[in-house]
């Protein structure tokens, strides 16, 4: 409890000092505050992962009542992920934000918002009082908005920030509905009151869980609640895009898992609902990612895809709990929790490398890039490792968590009914398509951005950033490789979070034994693959060490004067895919045909849009605007009409109380009819 109070004092003190600090010390002070918070919360988290839970009760106030702070294995797992991503991201941000050092006031507000966001995310993981939880959620939403709109001079950035803030408050509305419902019935804001109420009234557990699920799904970015995400990620500074995708959207996953433990709904029904939504999210996210031209927007849609993969694991785990299958539940929740960590690693790495590209070239348009591997080799290698990991290819971490999902589906299939077999087939097909389309997407992204020749001339020097800026990226890479090579080490850390869900089921140790049995050969195979690759390179070096190397131009396919325009563009690379999936995509074309013997310049450009956003947001808004436009005659600019409106309002206020009883009688008469 002393550590918690000390952290609050440090948080307030540092936030008050930053506006008065000059130079780069603002960023260093913000990083120090995040580091202190990380050390304190990680100490509790590590203890929890080793089996010790913590509970602190604060007195609160007359309004909030007591404020319980509880840290268990689930909260500990997310605290570890949040702290690691914030440490690496804020350290990378120290160098990334130097370019904006002339924007002193912006930097001050930005640094304070980053500290408060970290504190809010930490608080959300451990606070179990609904009013204080909502306050922390609001702090998170407001801080994130300030961080997203850092470059507020851009209209698109302001729109992205407002879009995020509005949808965050839609999320808060659903949270408030659930919390007020329980508080009204139980007279308590403690999360334990939710468990008591749902235990007494099991018939409303599904409805209550879906209320909370909608709130957390908006934050996580499940389809169709995802529409804020592709705007906020590209608008934010690249280092914060990595933090946002790495941990902030994962707080929605934490909320869903926490409510599963608290509400204890019909797990089978909820499992199928989550499974269907997750498969659709994964497929839709990767389908839209492929056709993006903005590198950060491409990565943003891949966040939706990976949230879908995490959701598939949660769905499988819920179905395992509903059928009392401890092995299935363990594999599902282990896959979801591990992929949460994996995605935080490789997606933050991808956004940081995208930040390197942006600062070197001042563009994120894939169509304008090319050949960067020659000028930014370290960034290219780091991007390639993260791309392989996100596609689920061994020997990196993404393969391990997806392998656990496939293992869970395999074991589920052995005992499945006809309906379950259909669901399994649907899920396997979705997972296979997600993996294949992800490989297509990142083959395009890496090939067009880093390979070939430059597609436009840059006047500035393009090179890798300094080593200190790349250091957090290398640290992330070490963990990406380590999880792939030593999967059991990290799964052992997951044993206690998983047992929170499976402790009431039989055969508690079956999960650990089975995963060890399945993953140990995989681990040996990965080591064999690595040794084989090293042996091949060693043999090649020995054979070619005495040969002379000659450098020549690549064969130009018959073109005497090669031009960068004869290369594949990002658009032409996925042309076959675009034609095949055209019914699911919304594309707009701008073209000028080439005609005549001496034609003018022609062009061909495509612009993509989200079809779900068009249907669920844009069309209803247009219909609402159309409805309101019918009443524009009321706002005609004539003073006498406005005076008349005021007189009508005053007369109505006076007359309604006088005729209140008659109005009630008239309504009752209508009801009798």
pLDDT at 443 over 60: yes
Listing DSSP states for 193-205 in one string gives HHHHHHHH-GGGH
pLDDT given at position 5: 67
User: What is the rounded average pLDDT of the residues 481-492?
Assistant: 86
User: What is the rounded average pLDDT of the residues 106-126?
Assistant: 92
- Cis ω on the peptide bond leading into residue 170 (within 30° of 0)? no
Among 404, 390, 394, smallest CA distance to 346 is for: 390
pLDDT in tens, 608-626: 888 888 888 888 888 988 8
Comparing 101 with 87, the larger pLDDT belongs to 87
Both structure tokens of 175: 């949270």
pLDDT given at position 2: 62
* Single pTM value for the model: 0.91
Q: How many CB atoms lie within 10 A of CB 660?
A: 10
3-state secondary structure of 68: strand
Comparing 648 with 218, the larger pLDDT belongs to 218
Percent of the chain surpassing pLDDT 90:
52
| Euclidean distance between CA atoms 26 and 345, whole angstroms | 26
pLDDT given at position 7: 67
pLDDT class of 598 with cuts at 50, 70, 90: low
User: What is the rounded average pLDDT of the residues 487-499?
Assistant: 87
User: What is the rounded average pLDDT of the residues 28-47?
Assistant: 91
User: What is the rounded average pLDDT of the residues 504-509?
Assistant: 58
- 112-116, 390-394, 558-562 — which is least confidently predicted? 558-562
Identify the bridge partners of residue 609 per DSSP, sorted by sequence position. Answer: 586
Q: Does an H or E element contain 586, and which? A: strand 586-592
Mean model confidence pLDDT for the chain? 87
User: What is the rounded average pLDDT of the residues 129-154?
Assistant: 94
| Euclidean distance between CA atoms 193 and 321, whole angstroms | 23
pLDDT at 557 over 60: yes
Q: In degrees rounded to 5, what are phi and psi of residue 456?
A: -150, 160
- 245-254, 340-349, 387-396 — which is least confidently predicted? 387-396
pLDDT given at position 99: 87
Percent of the chain surpassing pLDDT 70:
91
- Do 64 and 146 touch, CB atoms closer than 8 A? no
pLDDT given at position 509: 47
- 39-48, 103-112, 159-168, 356-365 — which is least confidently predicted? 103-112
User: What is the rounded average pLDDT of the residues 365-385?
Assistant: 92
Angle CA(145)–CA(148)–CA(152) in degrees, nearest 5? 100
């Amino acid at each position: 409890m002393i550590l918690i109070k000390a952290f609050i004092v440090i948080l307030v003190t540092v936030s008050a000092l930053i506006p008065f600090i000059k130079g780069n010390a603002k960023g260093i002070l913000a990083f120090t505050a995040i580091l202190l918070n990380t050390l304190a919360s990680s100490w509790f988290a590590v203890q929890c992962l080793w089996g010790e839970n913590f509970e602190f009760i604060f007195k609160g106030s007359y309004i909030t009542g007591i404020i319980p702070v509880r840290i268990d294995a689930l909260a500990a797992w997310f605290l570890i992920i949040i702290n690691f991503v914030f440490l690496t991201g804020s350290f990378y941000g120290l160098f990334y934000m130097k370019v904006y050092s002339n924007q002193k006031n912006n930097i001050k507000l930005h640094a304070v918002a980053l500290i408060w966001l970290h504190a809010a995310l930490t608080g959300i993981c451990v606070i179990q009082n609904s009013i204080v939880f909502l306050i922390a959620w609001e702090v998170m939403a407001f801080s994130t908005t300030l961080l997203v709109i850092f470059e507020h001079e851009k209209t698109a950035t302001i729109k992205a920030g407002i879009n995020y803030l509005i949808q965050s408050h839609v999320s808060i509305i659903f949270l408030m509905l659930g919390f007020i419902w329980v508080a009204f019935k139980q007279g308590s804001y403690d999360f334990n009151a939710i468990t008591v109420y749902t235990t007494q009234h099991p018939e409303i557990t599904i409805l209550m869980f879906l209320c909370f699920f909608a709130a957390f799904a908006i934050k996580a970015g499940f389809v169709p609640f995802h529409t804020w995400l592709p705007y906020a990620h590209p608008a934010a500074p690249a280092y914060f895009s990595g933090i946002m995708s790495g941990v902030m959207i994962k707080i929605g996953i934490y909320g869903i898992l926490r409510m599963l433990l608290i509400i204890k709904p019909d797990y089978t029904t909820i499992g199928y609902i989550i499974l269907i939504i997750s498969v659709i999210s994964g497929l839709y996210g990767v389908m839209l990612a492929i056709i993006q031209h903005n590198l950060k927007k491409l990565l943003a849609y891949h966040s939706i895809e990976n949230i879908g993969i995490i959701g598939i694991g949660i769905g499988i785990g819920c179905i395992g709990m509903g059928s009392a299958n401890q092995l299935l539940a363990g594999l599902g929740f282990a896959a979801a929790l591990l992929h949460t960590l994996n995605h935080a690693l490789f997606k933050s790495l991808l956004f940081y490398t995208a930040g390197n590209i942006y600062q070197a070239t001042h563009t994120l348009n894939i169509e304008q890039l090319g050949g960067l591997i020659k000028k930014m080799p370290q960034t290219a290698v780091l991007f390639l490792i993260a791309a392989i990991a996100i596609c689920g290819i061994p020997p990196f971490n993404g393969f391990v968590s997806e392998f656990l999902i496939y293992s869970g589906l395999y074991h589920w299939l052995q005992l499945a009914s006809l309906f379950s077999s259909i669901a399994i087939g649907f899920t396997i097909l979705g997972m296979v398509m997600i993996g294949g389309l992800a490989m297509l997407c990142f083959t395009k992204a890496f090939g067009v951005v880093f390979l070939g020749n430059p597609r436009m001339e840059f006047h500035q020097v393009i090179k890798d950033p300094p080593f200190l800026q790349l250091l957090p990226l290398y640290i992330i890479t070490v963990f990406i490789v380590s999880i792939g090579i030593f999967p059991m080490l990290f799964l052992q850390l997951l044993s206690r979070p998983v047992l929170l869900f499976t402790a009431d089921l039989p055969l508690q140790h079956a999960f650990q034994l089975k995963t060890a049995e399945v993953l140990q050969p995989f681990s040996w195979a990965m080591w064999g693959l690595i040794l084989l690759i090293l042996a091949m390179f060693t043999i090649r070096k020995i054979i070619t060490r005495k040969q002379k190397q000659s450098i020549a131009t690549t064969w130009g396919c018959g073109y005497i004067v090669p031009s960068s325009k004869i290369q594949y563009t990002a658009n032409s690379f996925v042309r076959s895919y675009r034609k095949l999936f055209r019914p699911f995509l919304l594309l707009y074309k701008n073209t000028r045909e080439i005609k005549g013997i001496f034609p003018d310049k022609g062009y061909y450009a495509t612009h993509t849009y989200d079809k779900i956003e068009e249907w669920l947001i844009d069309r209803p808004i247009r219909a609402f605007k159309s409805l309101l436009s019918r009443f524009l005659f009321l706002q005609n600019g004539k003073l006498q009409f406005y005076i008349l409106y005021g007189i009508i309002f005053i007369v109505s206020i006076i007359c309604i109380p006088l005729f209140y009883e008659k109005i009630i009688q008239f309504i009752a008469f209508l009801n009798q009819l």
